[in-house]
Chains A and B, each alone.
Chain A
């Protein structure tokens, strides 16, 4: 409040005439002849604002102002009062609403922001300064100067200087416009670029025009980096999602040679397991623990999918080794059954999953580049899963057995490896990784019975492109496809990009059926 008073005092001092909101002003703002006249009156009133002006502007923005025979009334529920004196007044039955069009609303919002510059809270002042940047108006210059004089926080100061420069852009003084162009060119925000472009369109002076163009070029150069990094990151994020979805398949299909069309449904089971864990946390545990549900869901999703996978291997797939086309059909049948099972238990609608609080928001890297935390977490999670799988295959006893059985089943059996059991474990491992993928996907997409179907074609493409039997190939193929897809998307739109990628893979496989990274020698 002290700040508001200070700001008002300064503003009053600069404006010369010292008076608070008058009845004429209130009438001019609420019922002026035209929107332009109303905005002019509003900006006039804001220059000499006091607490009553602020309340009146708020009321106008909230549609709580009525007109009754030339008198302006602020309505509060059943009662009404005069905005100038604050005295209670009767609300006549024939009072008319004050209608604000979009132009007027924008002006009201800017006026509210200008008045909030005096707030004691730093985030409020910062937000107010940001809001003012999109609606610069010369009439607010004294207010901004006053706020600048008293402002201590460097972030708000920088923002206010930006607003001042933006306001100067419209000034009649050429040197001021030049200085403003210079100052704004040092900024890197897309808002400023928009502002400069708007000014460039109306600018009559050639010298200022050149300065504006220089400033825009300067901003473009720094924005381009943000955009490039942004595309790269979204590509990386999509790639890590593809990688998670395909990694389990790289084991069951790539290493074991099982065409598992139910792989997508194993992902779906992981996602639903996450949903169940969320429900348990919401119902049975205190609210403070809710943020941890995702951590608890990771092992649950893995085990749920691994268990289903093991049952499938024991019950069906085991009988179909060496008959890939039959395996394809049988596992497709399984996928239909699993989908319908989920539909029967959880309903056909998508279920709602909330991000834990620590995953919402983002990390502002550049003015035009914010990386959402949930995407960052998934990229890191994918990296961890890949590392875990690589470790399991290369270093553990089970991994050794899996590689042995893959390379030469009879010899492995002669060495005393129980090949049937290794098959089951390996399939369960691949399925469990699909469950992990589901747990991660539940944080960025919809969770419904059809979840798996949208990933099955992509997963197979990744594995086939990377080269069957190659974990490293799967990683490169997934990340490559993700980035390629996002690059094309900026160019052609999402659907065409997806089609282009599919066609690219089809053509690629014609040329190189063994994938990017083929096994050398006789294995290939």
Chain B
């Protein structure tokens, strides 16, 4: 009996040539163009990038990292997390602890301890602040703490095969419980007010244009780096198994794959990305408090990914920029309409744009292209080897787009 020869699909390149070009353009824009426009172009000039815009764009890039993280776990693995606000906040709080210690004796009580501890009449730092004066330890904690929380929670949740909406609701409950905990003064994270009034980082003052720019560039590089990492992950065999789990978990198990390590790995990576985003967010915005863990904040992250387009990597980034751009404009221009807009966006996107803005653009482009061009697309030849559903094909095409 002879078997038909099976050939594995050729591994897709990390980025197409046009993709690399776009990537380096973005890198150049973040690392060279933005600093030049902000620091060297005089303030009156129409090309000047204001400090407000730098902070805003930096903040949105942090959100884009979160959207990317949500996309890895939701778009590619089919697990909707309503708890990424927790990981974002944990990263932020780790950074915040370091920044609080950097204030030194310049707080309003002139004490070694952060102001809120003096206010609570504490005499020494609680145990979980032990590593907060070391920058290196803080950098490790920023990924380790969200990663550990995600690992413990994810291990038990995925082991008991909690799926779908159940998982979403439990992550929501976890985040809600954490928010209640952080609201308490006794927890040692500043209660209601959280951390604010930061003065400097690594001994350098925070409130200078140069520092603002440096954080902006750092965030941009982190975002682009995470984009490449995500691209590498989903193109590798690992990413394909994730998508198989998303589309048909039972079938994947029958093929001999145990979904637990795959789900757990991507879940922890996603949580760590959110932690880094939170840590970059705090010094730019200058405050972290428990409201970052509210139910709404986590769901909003999911909407960024949904608006841009799930199961594409560029989609969540686009979505984060579109939604947050609209937010910062609308909350100033017409604050009472912002929630109507956001709520409407949730409904319109789920009802009419299941593939988001990127999917919509893709469809329009495809319609304008000559048909011969479509057949030359690599997706048509590669999907022969896979027996996945149409949805998976669409996702794969999206991933290559």
Question: Can you name the residue of chain B whose Cβ is closest to the Cβ of A325?
Answer: B80
How many contacts between A and B, using CB within 8 angstroms?
A: 115
**Contact status of A259 and B343, CB under 8 A, knowing A457-B295, A495-B183:** no
Would B177 and A503 count as touching, CB distance under 8 A? yes
Q: How far is the CA of A496 from the CA of B183 in the complex (A)?
A: 11
Would A339 and B339 count as touching, CB distance under 8 A? yes
Would B347 and A316 count as touching, CB distance under 8 A? yes
**Which residues of chain A from 312 to 337 have any CB-CB distance to chain B below 8 Å in the complex?**
316, 319-320, 323-330, 332-337
Q: Is A498 an interface residue (CB 8 A)?
A: yes
Per DSSP, chain A at the interface is: helix
Would A333 and B344 count as touching, CB distance under 8 A? yes
List, in ascending order, chain B residues with CB within 8 A of A498's CB: 177, 180
Would A460 and B169 count as touching, CB distance under 8 A? yes
Would B345 and A333 count as touching, CB distance under 8 A? yes
Chain B contact patch, size range = 35 or more
Would B166 and A464 count as touching, CB distance under 8 A? yes
Q: How far is the CA of A464 from the CA of B173 in the complex (A)?
A: 12
**Which residues of chain B from 180 to 194 have any CB-CB distance to chain A below 8 Å in the complex?**
180-181, 183-184
Would B346 and A333 count as touching, CB distance under 8 A? yes
Q: Is A111 an interface residue (CB 8 A)?
A: no
Question: Can you name the residue of chain B whose Cβ is closest to the Cβ of A512?
Answer: B160
Question: Can you name the residue of chain A whose Cβ is closest to the Cβ of B352?
Answer: A319
- Stretch of B26-34, B216-224, B299-307, B366-374 on the interface side: B299-307
Would A337 and B344 count as touching, CB distance under 8 A? yes
**Contact status of A326 and B162, CB under 8 A, knowing A340-B336, A340-B339, A499-B180:** no
Give 1 or 0 for each of B147-179: 1 = CB within 8 Å of chain A CB.
000000000110111101110111011101100
Chain B min CB distance to A95 (Å): 45
List, in ascending order, chain B residues with CB within 8 A of A327's CB: 350
Question: Can you name the residue of chain B whose Cβ is closest to the Cβ of A326?
Answer: B350
Q: Is A344 an interface residue (CB 8 A)?
A: yes
Question: Can you name the residue of chain A whose Cβ is closest to the Cβ of B169?
Answer: A460
Would B162 and A329 count as touching, CB distance under 8 A? no
Chain B min CB distance to A337 (Å): 4
Would B351 and A329 count as touching, CB distance under 8 A? no
Q: How far is the CA of A464 from the CA of B165 in the complex (A)?
A: 11
* Candidate in A333, A339, A513 with the most chain B CB atoms within 10 angstroms: A333
Chain B min CB distance to A246 (Å): 13
List, in ascending order, chain B residues with CB within 8 A of A460's CB: 169, 172-173
Q: How far is the CA of A503 from the CA of B157 in the complex (A)?
A: 13
Would B164 and A513 count as touching, CB distance under 8 A? no
Residue A502 contacts which of B160, B168, B173, B346 (CB distance < 8 angstroms)?
B173
Would B173 and A457 count as touching, CB distance under 8 A? yes
Give 1 or 0 for each of A62-97: 1 = CB within 8 Å of chain B CB.
000000000000000000000000000000000000
Q: How far is the CA of A334 from the CA of B339 in the complex (A)?
A: 10
Besides the known contacts A323-B350, A340-B343, 13 further A-B residue pairs in the complex with CB atoms under 8 A apart: A316-B347, A325-B168, A328-B80, A337-B339, A337-B344, A340-B340, A457-B173, A457-B295, A496-B184, A503-B177, A509-B160, A510-B159, A510-B162
B residues neighboring A (CB under 8 Å): 74, 80, 156-157, 159-162, 164-166, 168-170, 172-174, 176-177, 180-181, 183-184, 295-296, 299, 302-303, 306, 336, 339-340, 342-347, 349-351, 354
Question: Could you name 23 residue pairs across A and B whose Cβ atoms are closer than 8 Å?
Answer: A316-B347, A316-B351, A324-B164, A325-B165, A325-B168, A329-B303, A330-B351, A333-B303, A333-B347, A334-B346, A336-B296, A336-B343, A336-B346, A337-B340, A337-B343, A457-B173, A460-B172, A502-B174, A502-B177, A503-B177, A506-B177, A510-B160, A510-B162
